Amino acid sequence: MLPKKIEDAINLQINKELFSEYLYLSMATYFAAEGLSGFENFFVVQAQEERFHAMKFYHFVNERGGRVLLKKLSDPKTDFASIEEVFQLSLAHERFISKSIYELMDLAIEEKEHATKSFLNWFIDEQVEEEASMQAILDKLKLIDGKGQGLLMLNTELAARVYTPPVAL
């Protein structure tokens, strides 16, 4: 049985993951409007990953005898000043999600909830990858100054990204 304190915290995390999906879809629509289909694709795939993360938490709560309670999502940001701003906001958001998962792990340790600790290890590893991915693209954008042929090459690179869900839930 999942302790109530942890169930409540995971329900909050589910909401954060669903908001992440919503935010990344909003970013995708920005790039669609800018005619940058590769960048759009990157964020559509990112949104799919966030949905997977939310559902992974969802299934964990249910498997442990808890109850998922969904909350209202806030409106995501829809207007951006630049491509670089989108990735700066994305990196900041991933760091926010990482901090939230670390806090969940701290709670699981405090509550001696070993199954939750084991479950959260996957997310901790995933967040390292998420932050590194956003930082790498941000670094490339800074290198090419967000324009010209470099931007078109990066757009082509991001167009090749596909969503591949992990084999095991």
pLDDT of residue 12: 98
Domains in the chain with CATH codes: 4-159 (1.20.1260.10)
146: pLDDT strictly greater than 90: no
Residue 11 pLDDT > 60:
yes
Backbone φ, ψ for residue 30 (5° rounding): -60, -45
Task: State residue 100's pLDDT score.
Answer: 98
Give the whole-number percent of the chain exceeding pLDDT 70: 99
Q: Rounded mean pLDDT of 132-153?
A: 94
pLDDT of residue 167: 73
Q: How confident is the model at residue 165 (pLDDT cuts 50, 70, 90)?
A: confident
Q: Which tokens go with 64?
A: 């442990």
d(CA 1, CA 148): 56
- Given this model, what pLDDT does residue 126 score? 95
Interval 54-94: pLDDT, tens: 999 999 999 999 999 999 999 999 999 999 999 999 999 99
- φ, ψ of residue 115 in degrees (nearest 5): -65, -40
168 — pLDDT class (breaks 50, 70, 90): low
List of long-range contacts for 103-107, beta carbons under 8 Å, 24+ apart: 103/9, 104/6, 104/9, 104/10, 104/13, 107/5, 107/6, 107/9
Share of the chain above pLDDT 90, in %: 95
Which pTM does this prediction carry?
0.95
Residue 42: per-residue pLDDT: 98
For residue 69, give the DSSP letter. -
Confidence (pLDDT) at 147: 81
